[in-house]
Amino acid sequence: DGGITQSPKYLFRKEGQNVTLSCEQNLNHDAMYWYRQDPGQGLRLIYYSQIVNDFQKGDIAEGYSVSREKKESFPLTVTSAQKNPTAFYLCASTEGLAGGTDTQYFGPGTRLTVL
Amino acid sequence: AQKVTQAQTEISVVEKEDVTLDCVYETRDTTYYLFWYKQPPSGELVFLIRRNSFDEQNEISGRYSWNFQKSTSSFNFTITASQVVDSAVYFCALSEDPNTGGFKTIFGAGTRLFVKA
C-alpha cells in the first residue's frame, strides 16, 4: 500500500539535543511538507520541498532544518535552537508541483517531548 | 490576508444527531481551494473534500455534506446521523493560487467533535 511513514511515533529529547524525525513516502509525490501542531491550534508549516535538493522555509522554520536528498525522503531535524519543540509533527506530500492547491496526504505523525 | 476561522472549539452530540461544523475564510484571491480534513485519535489527517472557488455546488457523500457559499465566505460541513466513529478533530484549510502569491495553505484551529453513544 502506498503512503507516508513517520518514525518514531514518540520521541523524547533532553534540552540541548538535536533530534531527527524521519518521513518517507512511496507515493512518488514530488512535494513534501513538515507541519507542527500544538494543542488547540491548527497546523503550521515548517518547511516544504517541491523537488529533490531544494526546499523552502515555511512560517516557523527557525530552529529546524531539513534535507531532500531523495524524492521519497524528507527528514526534519529539530535543533537545540528551537526554544519550544514539544509538539506533534506531521509530514505530508502532494503529487504535483502545484503546492498547496493539491490534496495533501499525511503521515501518522511524531510526538516530540522535551524533558 | 489569508485566514481560516473555525469558531467552534469543541462540539458534543449524542449519536444519531446531525451536526454542522462551521468554517469561515478570508482571502484576496479569486482562485483558491478549500479543504476539510479529519484527524482521528490516531493523529493522521485524512482528506475529506477539496473544492475550488469556482465550484459552489454543494456536495454530499454518504452522511457527509458540504455547503460552500462565497457570498458569506463559508464552507460548512454537516454530518448527518452522527456516529461514535465520527469523533475526531476536523480541520478546514484554504490554499491560494500559487501562480499569484506562491504556495500557501492555512489551516483553521480545528473543531473537536465528540459523539456520545
Residues of B within 8 A of A88 (CB-CB) are: 43
- Chain A / chain B CB contacts < 8 angstroms: 63
Cell match 507515493: residue? A27
The 10s digit of each residue's pLDDT in A62-110 is 999 999 999 999 999 999 888 899 999 999 999 876 556 788 899 999 9
Is the separation of the CB atoms in A92 and A111 below 8 Å? no
Average pLDDT, chain A: 91
Using left for φ > 0, alpha for ψ between -120 and 50, and beta otherwise, residue A5 falls in beta
Which amino acid is located at A60 in the chain? I
Residues of B within 8 A of A100 (CB-CB) are: 33, 95-96, 98, 103-105
pLDDT computed for residue A49 by the predictor: 92
Which of A90, A55, A88 has its CA nearest to residue A71? Answer: A55
User: pLDDT grade, residue A15 (50/70/90)?
Assistant: confident
Nearest to A100 among B46, B95, B108 (CB): B95
∠ CA B27-B33-B34 to the nearest 5 degrees?
90
Cell match 469561515: residue? B24
Q: Does B107 touch chain A (CB under 8 A)?
A: yes
Nearest to A108 among B43, B91, B102 (CB): B43
Q: What is the dihedral of CA B26, A103, B57, B66, to 10 degrees?
A: -80
Helix (H) or strand (E) holding B99: helix B98-101
Examine the pLDDT at A10 and tell me if it is beyond 90.
Answer: yes
**Grid coordinates given for A52:** 529533490
The 10s digit of each residue's pLDDT in B42-75 is 899 999 998 988 888 888 889 999 999 999 999 9
Alpha-carbon span A74 to B66, nearest angstrom: 34
DSSP letters, B67-86, are EEEGGGTEEEEEESS--GGG
Is the separation of the CB atoms in A81 and A62 below 8 Å? yes
Start-to-end Cα distance in chain A:
36
The number of helices, as runs of H, and strands, as runs of E, in chain A is: 0, 11
**Grid coordinates given for A97:** 508541483
Contact B103 A42 (CB under 8 A): no
What are the residues whose beta carbons fall under 8 Å from the beta carbon of A39, sequence distance 6 or more?
none
Q: Does B88 touch chain A (CB under 8 A)?
A: no
Average pLDDT (B25-48) is: 92
Average pLDDT (A10-35) is: 93
